[in-house]
């Protein structure tokens, strides 16, 4: 599957500009991590998984990570992509545990990119370029800030990766700095 084919599929099931932007943010973040973690030969795969991860969310929120598997199977998409994309719903809507680096990174950064995006919106600069881990940690600890971003999932993601939470935040901020418009 090419990136273009993946994005066309995302657009078929998602019309909200926020969801499309989120898909591309996670795609680019996944590409960054593929390179940073020594999986540069799989950068396209990591990116496609990031792009497709919320394929079903807009139309099937109650069946999130379940319906997308059906859709992708019907399209003949590589089972590795299907498993990886669905694994980010582990413990929430599916029992598909993230098994490898790509899946663990997706699980960890999906919610975290949302938290970072919300933090950027309230910054005077409106930019991730001057966001520091210390500032993000304050937002993370404030339960009312970006309440829809699961702190538990972010913590569990850092634990799955074997990283301190601050390191996950630092790397994800760096990832997002690398492609901010």
* DSSP-assigned states of every residue in 53-107: TTTTTTT-GGGTTTHHHHHHHHTT--HHHHHHHHHTTBTTTB-----SHHHHHHH
Query: How sure is the predictor about 181, in pLDDT bands with cuts at 50, 70 and 90?
Result: confident
What is the per-residue pLDDT for 10? 98
CB atoms near residue 138 (< 10 Å):
12
> Per-residue pLDDT tens for 113-142?
999 999 999 999 999 999 999 999 999 999
Q: Contact 129/79 with Cβ under 8 angstroms?
A: no
Two tokens at 150?
């699961």
Q: What is the pLDDT of residues 61-73, one digit of tens each?
A: 999 999 999 999 9
Range of the domain at 66: 3-177
> Would the CA dihedral through 73, 76, 79, 84 be positive or negative?
negative
Q: What is the mean pLDDT of residues 176-181?
A: 92
Phi/psi at 56 (nearest 5 deg)? -95, -5
CB 2 within 8 A of CB 47: no
Strand partners, 94: 90
Mean pLDDT, the chain, as a whole number?
Answer: 96
Quote the pLDDT of residue 66: 95
The domain tally of the chain equals: 1
Instruction: Round to whole Å and give the CA distance between 9 and 56.
Output: 10
């Amino acid at each position: 599957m090419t990136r273009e084919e993946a994005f066309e599929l995302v657009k078929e099931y998602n019309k909200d500009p926020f969801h499309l932007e989120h898909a591309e943010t996670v795609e680019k973040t996944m590409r960054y991590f593929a390179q940073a973690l020594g999986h540069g030969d799989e950068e396209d795969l990591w990116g496609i998984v990031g792009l497709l991860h919320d394929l079903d969310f807009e139309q099937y929120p109650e069946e999130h990570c379940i319906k997308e598997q059906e859709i992708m199977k019907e399209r003949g998409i590589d089972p590795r992509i299907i498993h990886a994309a669905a694994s980010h719903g582990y413990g929430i809507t599916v029992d598909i545990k993230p098994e490898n680096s790509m899946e663990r990174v997706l699980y960890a950064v999906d919610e975290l990119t949302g938290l970072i995006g919300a933090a950027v919106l309230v910054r005077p600069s409106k930019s991730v370029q001057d966001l520091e881990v210390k500032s993000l940690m304050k937002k993370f600890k404030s339960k009312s800030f970006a309440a829809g971003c699961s702190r538990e999932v972010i913590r569990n993601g850092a634990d799955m990766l074997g990283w301190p939470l601050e390191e996950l935040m630092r790397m994800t901020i760096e990832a997002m700095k690398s492609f901010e418009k």
